[in-house]
Amino acid sequence: MASIRTTRSLRILMAASEVAPFAKTGGLGDVLGALPAALQALGASVHVVLPAYRTIDWAAAGAESDGVLQVWTGGTRRETPLRSARNADVPVSFVVADEFFDRDHLYGGPTGDYPDNAERFAFFARAIVALAAHLEPPPDVIHCHDWQTALVPVFASAGGPLPGTPRTVLTVHNLGYQGLFPAGVWPLLGLDWSYFTPRNLEFYGLVNFLKGGLVHADALTTVSRRYAEEILEPEQGHGLEGVLRERSDVLAGILNGVDYVEWNPALDQRLVATYSASDLTGKARCKTALQEEFGLRIAAHTPLLGMVSRLADQKGFDILMAALPELLRLDLQLVILGSGDARYESALAAEGRRAPDRLAVRIAFDEGAAHRIEAGADAFLMPSRYEPCGLNQMYSLRYGTVPIVRATGGLDDTISEFDPITGRGNGFKFGPYAPDALLGGVRRMLDVYHRPAAWRRVVGNGMTCDFSWRGPAARYLELYRRLVRPSEVSA
């Protein structure tokens, strides 16, 4: 890694549509809950901004009113209130716009996405730019995440230089979600029609928010090295592989980290018993408790597999359903927690009723149950079609729960096949996206499970892996310095 000569602290404005613990639907919220504090621990000065959603617990956040922003949108100026709080000593601003964010959900309800999402997040992007101009001193870098903030680099480019001329970074957490809208939303964005071209935001007749950010940001990142390579090809480029190839010189893959305070079996108060790599007694108690909680037969020596996932094709549920009859004929139990595609919800619930001694399914998002599955399961299954980073496999390693993953994206970067002969490796992975390949990975896990010395070795290998945020935060800091003060960075 390059050496970094420190002068004054770099000032980073971190912008996202969700930040744990305030608002979270998935891994994006986890990342934004941890990365800013990790950057600040390395000497950066970080400020976070997100919408003021109705779902935020303002009392728990300790939020206070914090003046107003002058936000230009649609050719008019709007006075937009701010609230402020702190998260692990990082200042956080909340953009208050009740007509956009005072709703029961972040992006949409049971019937689908909110129909005005283009206007909602175009406004939020304008507010981010306004906040960057409002902060004193101004940020050196505006770091944006996913399509909901991808218009920020576009607005910064179209509207002329901001105070301090901050550079822009866009991180793509999942290229499958791009912010695609009909061309009729264009007047809501306040951009000249010259930006609605194939070289800018136009995408097969639609407006593509993410494409705008990919074209205009000063630097692009994804959330693993492998995924940064995969999105340059049609299979995982989702139609944007050409744009990404043109900008590959500013594209980097930086693996997400894990918050080892939140995800640590020695500290986790959601568990019936805590444990560590040196004493796994508590893990055995967690397994029994998990079997009890999900109505499975108490069987200390029967391998218990866990899954915590969105129920969707991307997560491999098509090949899982095809493999499930054979999987449930093996000597194992399977616990699945998640929600998503209605066809998978109903199919899995039906399979659970047919094999209650083998399969337990809970259709829900339950943070506490997610921790208990990580602790109580022997192995964790992630058969994803594609996985930009994945966090659960890294949580599993720390919890002594051996991952079985498909070799894609961050799963491939973090999991190495265990070799019983050399004792090296921290899990099991398969390459082809096929039911037989999935079953092969599970069978290899079962073979090692029934060899106690080898199983202890693979569990121990995983528990000593370090996927903390310090390494990724250092790489981001290096990227920022290359953008802002390249003369201060030496190879």
DSSP string for residues in 199-237: TTTEETTEEEHHHHHHHH-SEEEESSHHHHHHTTSHHHH
What is the tens place of the pLDDT at every residue in 310-322? 999 999 999 999 9
Q: How far is the C-alpha of 476 from the C-alpha of 488, rounded, in Å? A: 15
pLDDT at residue 381 tops 50: yes
Q: Which of 59, 33, 58, 56 is nearest to 46 (CA)?
A: 33
Average pLDDT over every residue of 67-96: 92
Q: Which pLDDT score is estimated for 488?
A: 59
Q: How far is the C-alpha of 1 from the C-alpha of 371, rounded, in Å? A: 34
Q: Which pLDDT score is estimated for 339?
A: 92
Q: Which pLDDT score is estimated for 218?
A: 97
Map residue 129 onto helix, strand or coil.
helix
Report the sign of the C-alpha dihedral through residues 5, 6, 8, 11, in that order.
positive
Q: Which of 40, 44, 16, 232 is nearest to 125 (CA)?
A: 16
The set of residues, in sequence order, having a beta carbon less than 8 Å from that of 238 and lying 6+ positions away, is 175, 176, 178, 231
What is the tens place of the pLDDT at every residue in 241-264? 999 999 999 999 999 999 999 899
What is the tens place of the pLDDT at every residue in 219-243? 999 999 999 999 999 999 999 999 9
What is the tens place of the pLDDT at every residue in 269-307? 999 999 999 999 999 999 999 999 999 999 999 999 999
pLDDT at residue 74 tops 80: no
- What domains lie within the chain, and their CATH numbers? 3-257+469-490 (3.40.50.2000), 281-463 (3.40.50.2000)
Q: Which pLDDT score is estimated for 2?
A: 43
The residues that bridge with 144 in the sheet, in sequence order, are: 15, 170
Q: Which pLDDT score is estimated for 10?
A: 96
The set of residues, in sequence order, having a beta carbon less than 8 Å from that of 33 and lying 6+ positions away, is 19, 20, 21, 24, 87, 259
Q: Which pLDDT score is estimated for 4?
A: 43
Q: Which pLDDT score is estimated for 165?
A: 87
Average pLDDT over every residue of 342-354: 95
Q: How far is the C-alpha of 431 from the C-alpha of 3, rounded, in Å? A: 36
